Amino acid sequence: MTRPRDSMLWVVLPCLGLYLCMAAWFLLHGVEAIDDAYISLRYARNLVRGAGLVYNPGEFVQGYTNFLWVLIMAGVLSVGLPAVPTLCALGGLAGAAVVTLTAVWSCRRLAPGLRISAGVAPVLLASNLGLVVWSLRGLETGLFTLLILSGGLLYLRRGPLGPLSMPVALLFALAALTRPEGVLAFALTLGHLILVRLRQGRAPLSRDDVPGLALFLVVLGVYGAWTTWYYGDLLPNTFHAKVGGPLASLPRGLGYLWKFGRYGTGLPLLLIPLSLLSRRRRDHTRSYACIMTAGFALYVAAVGGDVFPAYRFLIPVLPFFYLLVADAVAVVEERWRHRQATARRWWAGEGLIRGTLALVLAVLALATFRPSSAFAWREWRGGNRYTRSMLMVGNWLHAHEPPGTWIAVNPAGALPYAADLPAIDMLGLTDREIAGTPISGLGTGRLAGHEKGNGASVLRRRPELILMSGVKLDVDPPTREWNPHGRSEHEIAATPDLYRIYGLEQQAMPDGRILTFLRRREP
């Protein structure tokens, strides 16, 4: 007889191996953080230098939403480790832990009797290259997903009828310090706890829940008080730069969810109603997974989705989504085995059951892998190329411009980080004045986070250099025509006396391309 631990290893090790193989394939094509990761790295570097948790020394603006990850970045820099490889490795390990935890939980619920069904959730998770890519991009996605999953599974292990434990509250508090959506995850967990208790005829909350609730509220309260004191605002500056009025971003967000369902999750999604037919598993995993998945989906729709491919905002709830799919497959396997035990027909043989379900799992994995691989590879290849171009320009500016030279740019990540010069973020993510500029239709644009701008504000601050057209890099011979990107660039290009104040300059970059930018004429 197969021992439960052996049965678990048969699921965990292949799924973990699949994830590691996918990660290795991407890493063989280059290790590089996404451009946005360098915004957080710039904050971390200034903290290590003693300038504070700021983008530009002396400007206290919260242009990040990943406080805990920024502190980890600062720790990496302070001990002299290479930032990008270390952060990519940490994110990759977090992603591997997510796959492992999902496999272990699925096995405890379904194995050894339903070994094929137990493998559904971790196999689909490892086959979705969105998790792989966004864990390796230098951002907090892998860590945030791990904290949400760990908190959720620990909550389920203790059960909603038991007290809300302090370890559960601590994990969700750490998640909330990693991304603001951690507050949503804790609220959904608390909502599930209350609903289950009310259904059982019990009080929604008890005295035993107070320590856990108090821990979460104290951690978030202290952090909120500190951000208000330090930055003068409870909300991050990125909120003002990205979020429009109530429901303004909903159409774009619904489109984001539609594409997510259409490309890669459509077939698994169709199976989820089957999970409602299961009557054997009363551990509340199914209802909790439904609440977490639906809650995050509604939130992502409300904020308008994300600008990046491979559906980064939905990665944190993929484990819960795939646990629902596993429940659906388990319903089929249970009923088929019941027929085998009662009817003894040829079509209910053990070998045929396992073979058919393995084929179903392979089809689901392929249906997940193929579309996600296209999005993930596009992000990896295009993102690496873009980030390296920005680092090249930034390094050139660092070598050729004196310290303290102010630059104005749209991409506020790798280029300003490498240039190590004070910078005006023309999209407003790290700029309070631009983020606070009122515009009509905020949240309805095609690209989330790329709608704010204020050309007059940029020109009033008289930066020495303005990099237009995003960053204009041309092969020789270069053009002298602008293709303005974003509101700030459009307003700057339309300024009547622009070329009285600024002149065009072109410089050859190390890769042979020509950088065209504006340099201030007046002293």
> Looking at residue 470, what is its pLDDT?
78
141-158 and 285-303 helices cross at what angle (nearest 10)? 150
> Looking at residue 96, what is its pLDDT?
96
Q: Name which of 63-72, 157-166, 322-331 the model is least confident about.
A: 322-331
Q: Name which of 19-28, 325-334, 475-484 the model is least confident about.
A: 475-484
Taking the C-alpha atoms of residue 396 and residue 21, their distance in angstroms, rounded to an integer, is 36
Task: Put residue 477 in one of left, alpha, beta given phi > 0 → left and psi -120 to 50 → alpha.
Answer: beta
295-320 pLDDT, tens digit each: 999 999 988 888 777 788 999 999 99
Name residue 408's beta-bridge partners.
Answer: 424, 466
> Looking at residue 243, what is its pLDDT?
77
- Per the listing, tokens 């396992």 go with 354
Name residue 267's beta-bridge partners.
Answer: none
> Looking at residue 299, what is its pLDDT?
93
Taking the C-alpha atoms of residue 76 and residue 520, their distance in angstroms, rounded to an integer, is 37
316 vs 440, higher pLDDT: 316
Write the burial class of residue 298 (CB in 10 Å: 0-12 exposed, 13-18 middle, 19+ buried). Answer: middle
389-414 pLDDT, tens digit each: 999 999 999 999 999 999 999 999 99
Confidence of residue 339 (pLDDT cuts 50, 70, 90): low
Residue type, 111: A
* Contacts with 128 (C-beta within 8 Å, 6 or more apart), sequence order: 264, 318, 368, 369, 372
Cβ 437 vs Cβ 244: under 8 Å: no
Report phi then psi at 53, rounded to 5: -85, 75
**472-474 and 407-409 beta bridge pairing:** unpaired
> How large a percentage of the chain has pLDDT more than 90?
53
Q: Name which of 149-163, 166-180, 274-288, 491-505 the model is least confident about.
A: 274-288
Q: What is the pTM of this model?
A: 0.91
- Per the listing, tokens 């209350």 go with 194
Confidence of residue 430 (pLDDT cuts 50, 70, 90): very high
Taking the C-alpha atoms of residue 234 and residue 224, their distance in angstroms, rounded to an integer, is 6
Mean pLDDT computed over 509-515 = 91
114-138 pLDDT, tens digit each: 677 778 888 888 888 889 999 999 9
Residue 347: is its pLDDT beyond 50?
no
200-222 pLDDT, tens digit each: 889 999 999 999 999 999 999 99
Taking the C-alpha atoms of residue 233 and residue 415, their distance in angstroms, rounded to an integer, is 27
> Looking at residue 1, what is its pLDDT?
42
* Contacts with 263 (C-beta within 8 Å, 6 or more apart), sequence order: 371, 372, 374, 375
318-343 and 285-303 helices cross at what angle (nearest 10)? 140
